[in-house]
Amino acid sequence: MTRPIPPEIEPDLRRAIRLEWWTLAWLASIVAVMGLTAGSSQAMRTAWIEDMLSMVPAIVFLIALHFEHRPPTRRFPFGFKRVNSLAFLISAVALSAVGASLLIESTMTLLSKDHATIPPVTLFGNSLWSGWLMVAALVYSVVPPFILGRLKLPVARRLQDKVLHTDAMMQKADWMTGLAGVAGVIGLGFGYWWADALAAALISVSILQDGLNALRVATAELVDGAPRKLENADIADDAALLRNALAVRFPGADVRLREMGRFIHAEVRAEAPATLPDLETLWPGPPERRWRLAQLSFVPPPGEES
């Protein structure tokens, strides 16, 4: 027994869509500003690449949400709810791969002791250290991600949307990247050649750590692992409660849960009751999250299949 996407979360979905479009618009402006002022700074290039990477979760979220609402077809008889899981995997892989490549690049710069320089530029007839332009661009790159990330987190938790949550974490990494980049550029201006590359390396470690954590959760979801938390690979609290509740409701049955996007699908290995229970009555957690249980199926125990 299944049910469609519940109306209870439609307002949050509309809000998430607006936030993601705002994200793409702001990030496009940030990428343009950072690209114009990057120069030879390693930290600036790292922050610039991360800003471009930050667009990936927003793009795949919007694409996945477009397909998620589609009804089942002959080619896809189970529908498209799992496209959210695929979008999450894409975001996690991109984040991990770029974080690793940026870490290698910045580490090689430190090992080779490459002394980057930030030359002056002529602006309106006056000579100006271009590092100040870089700092201004970095400060500009901090504000929108800081605001957008804080707006997305509560929506992601209510929707149990890992792509949106990853995007919120990416916004956090963005404004932290901007602050680290400011420190790196100023350090370079004071003659500390290693400050720029060191800041880039620290940024890369943060990106890689977030990417690997997201990749663990995305992989578990796609191989039918038990539902995981948004923040890490631990079993989700509401999933643990649901499994215990179903085990009590159907004594001796083998209860299995898996996550498909934001929804939980439950399988009970037992004979189906004469009257199938209402899904909402089976949810043991907060009532506002009972939409999470989207499907309940009964499978005959081994040896009893016809």
Residue 40: predicted pLDDT: 63
User: What are 205-241's pLDDT values in tens digits?
Assistant: 877 888 888 888 888 888 888 899 888 888 999 999 9
Residue 43: predicted pLDDT: 64
Distance in angstroms (rounded) separating the CA atoms of residues 150 and 170: 11
**Among 252, 36, 212, which Cα is nearest to 140's?**
36
Tokens of 148: 């957008």
**Among 128, 118, 114, which Cα is nearest to 189's?**
118
Cβ neighbour number for residue 140 with a 10 Å cutoff: 16
Tokens of 58: 């927003």
Distance in angstroms (rounded) separating the CA atoms of residues 293 and 158: 14
Q: Output the 3-class SS for 19-34.
A: HHHHHHHHHHHHHHHH
SS3 56: helix
**Among 277, 239, 276, which Cα is nearest to 258's?**
239
Tokens of 255: 């209860």
Q: Are 142 and 27 in contact (CB under 8 A)?
A: no
Q: Are 193 and 116 in contact (CB under 8 A)?
A: yes
Tokens of 204: 């890369």
Residue 111: predicted pLDDT: 84
* DSSP category for residue 273: P
Residue 300: predicted pLDDT: 85
Residue 202: predicted pLDDT: 78
Residue 1: predicted pLDDT: 41
Residue 156: predicted pLDDT: 93
Strand bridging mode 254-260 / 120-123: unpaired
Residue 146: predicted pLDDT: 93
Residue 2: predicted pLDDT: 43
**pTM for this predicted structure:** 0.82
Residue 101: predicted pLDDT: 77
Residue 203: predicted pLDDT: 75
Q: Are 44 and 178 in contact (CB under 8 A)?
A: no
Low-confidence ranges of the chain (pLDDT < 70): 1-5, 39-43, 114-125, 196, 303-306
